[in-house]
Amino acid sequence: MSDQTKILATAAQVLEHEGQALVRMAQNLPADFVSTVERILKIKGRIILSGIGKSGHIARKIASTLASTGTPSYFVHPAEASHGDLGMITHDDLCILLSNSGETSELGDLINHTRRFSIPLVGMSSKEDSTLMRAADFRLTLPQEPEAGSGIAPTTSTTMALALGDALAMALMEQRGFLSEHFRTYHPGGKLGAQLALVHQLMHGPEAMAVVAPDTAMQDTLLKMSEKGFGIACVVDHGKLVGVISDGDLRRNSEHLGSRTAQEVATKSPKTVPPDMMAVQALAVMNENKITVLVVVDTAGAPVGLLRIHDCLRAGVA
């Protein structure tokens, strides 16, 4: 067997091994999983996660996932907790402590603090009869699966802990009714947040619009378009959008432009989008129709803003 074949075989074996462990865990979730979710939903404070070493890295990631999906959470390092950070944890909070063995000595002060002040404690470990799990109010017991490969490094155990943390976050998110617009609130600068941005969050408001009546002379219409600087005019009749005038319309009617009115030059039934549409969908409309600006209209058909392709691209929507 060549080195390349061996490398690929090892990688496949590890992934298959860990994948099978996850399937078995999904088929037999911890008995306290539901009660843990229900207790977290009642917490008035925050969720504190902690662990040391590999478990600490997993705890950090779970805390981050919880926080970004509607469950306020943060990570406390066990050593820092023992040197003053225990004061950050109040009786309104809940602690989730991770230790594969359940015997991590560095977690001792955190365990004692939760017991002393009656702070709910969730333990995540593969050892049911460990110090951590005996002290915990809720036990998220991980299956005792062999580690992948040579079995020396934490692999399968950390994968299961991470996946169980994701399962916990998703269950909480669903129970809270956490929606994409909430995710956008917590990710205003991220790529994921940009993909979830809504049209009204990126559009230019009514003050940016050149609005004219159907019988407005084109000379006056051009002045308004020049004043606003967006290269488009909205033709509005009785509060409703009845047409738009773009640079393309001006070119097509250039020969007799001075003698025409706005309604004679405007494109009837223009492409529009609602303010609550996702910006990525609006961008698709612009690309499909080879236009660079859209009028945003409300449910009554009244124009409420403008969205340019540049606004979408600048915000990271693509």
Instruction: Please state the residue numbers annotated as binding site.
Output: 77
Residue type, 254: S
285 vs 301: CA distance, rounded Å? 18
Binding residues for Zn(2+): 77
312 vs 287: CA distance, rounded Å? 12
Pick from 123, 80, 132, 137: which is nearest to 103 by CA?
132
CA quadruple 269, 274, 280, 281: dihedral positive or negative?
Answer: negative
**Which tokens hold the place of 117?**
């002040």
C-beta separation of 296 from 273 below 8 A: yes
Using DSSP bridges, classify how beta strands 240-246 and 232-237 pair: parallel, antiparallel or unpaired.
Answer: antiparallel
Nearest 5°: phi and psi at 204? Answer: -90, 135
Q: How far lies 257's CA from each of 220, 223, 270, in Å?
A: 11, 13, 20
Residue type, 190: G
Nearest 5°: phi and psi at 206? Answer: -55, -30
